[in-house]
């Protein structure tokens, strides 16, 4: 199993297997024959139909799509910023989205369908737009450090807004709602989310993979990439627009799920190597597999109660990062 392309095939084959297993497990287990019966329209048990079609299936598919989106965006951000600690939330999209959701909840607009995801999407995109605008000013000159630093500043600002709203609203059910949103989770999955995210993932994913070779050149630095005929600023703008759109939709439908966008690209780089033409699709597939598995655990470990998925991703993420640290010490090389 040496060639990266065969790994891509393995990952591609693993996705439906993991999705199938994930559909079977949950508060109520479904057998293969029950699932087949429901999908072929021959089911007699109406409960099984409801569980599978209304609850289980959209949730499992949404988990895979969110994981794929975060894995892909994480790989792009690490390549774009040439930094192993970059993730899809680097430019403040998570705290912007959280603040957006907090505003909606504090104003009690969350009684309207789709208000929280919309608020989160707007908040996330707004945060990145402001970060980009600040970094574009003449004195900041839009280099990577300017972007990262204004991202840190804006994240702090938006967190302050969230904290203020939490503190001010005082209503405990608002606070609880928001905390659930911050922890992230796929409990609110609906078919409309699945199709919405699928469309954005296909569109943004196509753009990102088309620019994968430019990310390879960028590994040699912006100056060298420019000598190879690439316009670094142009590239950065395109990639950030695609990543922001995709991450904002993923966060809007699932909250801020941490660690997936950070660790998945590292895992896949160990397997398929650093070539972004392989790494980007592999990270999307790997993210889909990882988040589907994590969500399956979240649903089953404490069933019928649910564990917030952020706890599971963090529990997996921390040891993996220590493993990377050890490996780095052994190789004496970059991550």
Partner 1 sequence: MIRLENVQLGYSGRLVLRDLDLEIAPGEVFGLVGPNGSGKTTLLRAISGRLAPEAGAIYLDFRCLNELSPRELARELAALEQEISCSFDFTVREIVELGRLPHRERWQRLSQKDSDVITRALKLTKTLEFSERKIHSLSSGERQRVWIALALAQEPKVLLLDEPTAHLDLNYQLEIMELIRSLAQRDLTVLVSLHDLNLALRYADRIALLSEGRVIAVGEPEHVLTAELIERVFRTKVRIVNGTGDLYIVPVRSQR
**Cβ nearer to partner 1, comparing 269 with 299:** 269
- The CB-of-94 to partner 1 minimum distance in angstroms stands at 24
Q: Contact with partner 1 (CB under 8 A): which of 238, 274, 315, 323?
A: 274
Three-class DSSP category at 150: helix
Contact 272/4 with Cβ under 8 angstroms? yes
**Cβ nearer to partner 1, comparing 45 with 231:** 231
Q: Per CB under 8 A, which of residues 80..119 are in contact with partner 1?
A: 82-83
**Cβ nearer to partner 1, comparing 41 with 229:** 229
Tell me how many residues contact partner 1 (CB under 8 A): 26
Of 32-40, 65-73, 76-84, 294-302, the window that binds partner 1 (rule: CB under 8 A) is 76-84
Contact 19/64 with Cβ under 8 angstroms? yes
**Cβ nearer to partner 1, comparing 120 with 217:** 217
Contact 96/126 with Cβ under 8 angstroms? yes
Q: Contact with partner 1 (CB under 8 A): which of 1, 111, 173, 223?
A: 223
Tokens standing for residue 218: 């960028």
Q: Per CB under 8 A, which of residues 157..196 are in contact with partner 1?
A: none
Residues 6+ positions from 71 with CB-CB distance below 8 Å? 260, 261, 264, 265, 268, 283, 284, 285, 286, 287, 288, 290
DSSP string, 82-137: T-TT--TTTTSHHHHHHHHHHHHHHTTGGGSTTHHHHHHHHHHHHHHHHHHHHHHS
Task: Identify each DSSP E strand in 183-308 by its residue range.
Answer: none
- The CB-of-32 to partner 1 minimum distance in angstroms stands at 41
Q: Per CB under 8 A, which of residues 193..222 are in contact with partner 1?
A: 210-211, 213-214, 216-217, 219-221
Contact status: 75 vs partner 1 (CB under 8 A):
no
**Cβ nearer to partner 1, comparing 171 with 219:** 219
Distance CA 51, CA 67 (A): 22
Tokens standing for residue 51: 């569980």
**Cβ nearer to partner 1, comparing 255 with 286:** 286
**Cβ nearer to partner 1, comparing 48 with 215:** 215
Radius of gyration of the chain (CA): 20
Distance CA 240, CA 136 (A): 14
- The CB-of-111 to partner 1 minimum distance in angstroms stands at 47
- The CB-of-333 to partner 1 minimum distance in angstroms stands at 5
Q: Contact with partner 1 (CB under 8 A): which of 152, 275, 306, 314?
A: 275
Q: What is the dihedral of CA 308, 313, 315, 316, to 10 degrees?
A: 150
> Which residues make up the interface to partner 1 (CB under 8 A)?
79, 82-83, 210-211, 213-214, 216-217, 219-221, 223-224, 226-231, 269, 273-275, 333-334
């Amino acid at each position: 199993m040496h060639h990266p392309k065969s790994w891509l095939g393995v990952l591609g084959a693993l996705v439906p297997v993991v999705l199938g297993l994930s559909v079977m497990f949950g508060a109520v287990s479904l057998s293969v024959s029950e699932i087949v019966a429901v999908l072929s329209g021959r089911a007699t048990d109406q409960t099984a139909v409801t569980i599978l079609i209304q609850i289980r299936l959209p949730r499992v598919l949404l988990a895979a799509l969110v994981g794929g989106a975060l894995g892909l965006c994480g790989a792009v951000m690490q390549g774009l910023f040439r930094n192993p600690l970059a993730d899809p939330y680097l430019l403040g999209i998570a705290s912007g989205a959280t603040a957006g959701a907090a505003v909606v909840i504090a104003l009690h607009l969350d009684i309207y369908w789709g208000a929280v995801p919309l608020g989160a999407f707007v908040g996330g995109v707004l945060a990145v737009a402001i970060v980009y605008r600040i970094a574009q000013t003449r004195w900041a000159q839009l280099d990577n450090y300017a972007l990262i630093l204004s991202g840190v500043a804006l994240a702090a600002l938006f967190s302050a807004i969230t904290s203020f709203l939490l503190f001010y609203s005082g209503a405990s059910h608002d606070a609880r709602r928001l905390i659930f949103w911050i922890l992230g989770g796929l409990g609110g999955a609906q078919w409309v989310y699945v199709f919405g995210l699928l469309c954005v993932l296909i569109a943004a994913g196509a753009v990102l993979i088309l620019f994968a070779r430019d990310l390879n050149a960028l590994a040699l630095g912006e100056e060298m990439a420019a000598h190879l005929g690439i316009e670094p600023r142009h590239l950065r703008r395109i990639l950030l627009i695609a990543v922001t759109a995709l991450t904002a939709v993923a966060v809007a439908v699932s909250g801020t799920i941490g660690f997936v966008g950070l660790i998945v690209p590292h895992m896949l780089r160990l397997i398929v190597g650093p070539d972004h033409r392989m790494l980007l699709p592999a990270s999307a597939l790997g993210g889909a597999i990882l988040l589907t598995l994590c969500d399956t655990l979240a649903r089953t470990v404490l069933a019928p109660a649910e564990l917030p998925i952020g706890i599971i991703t963090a529990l997996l993420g921390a040891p993996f990062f220590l493993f990377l640290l050890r490996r780095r010490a052994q190789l004496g090389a970059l991550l």
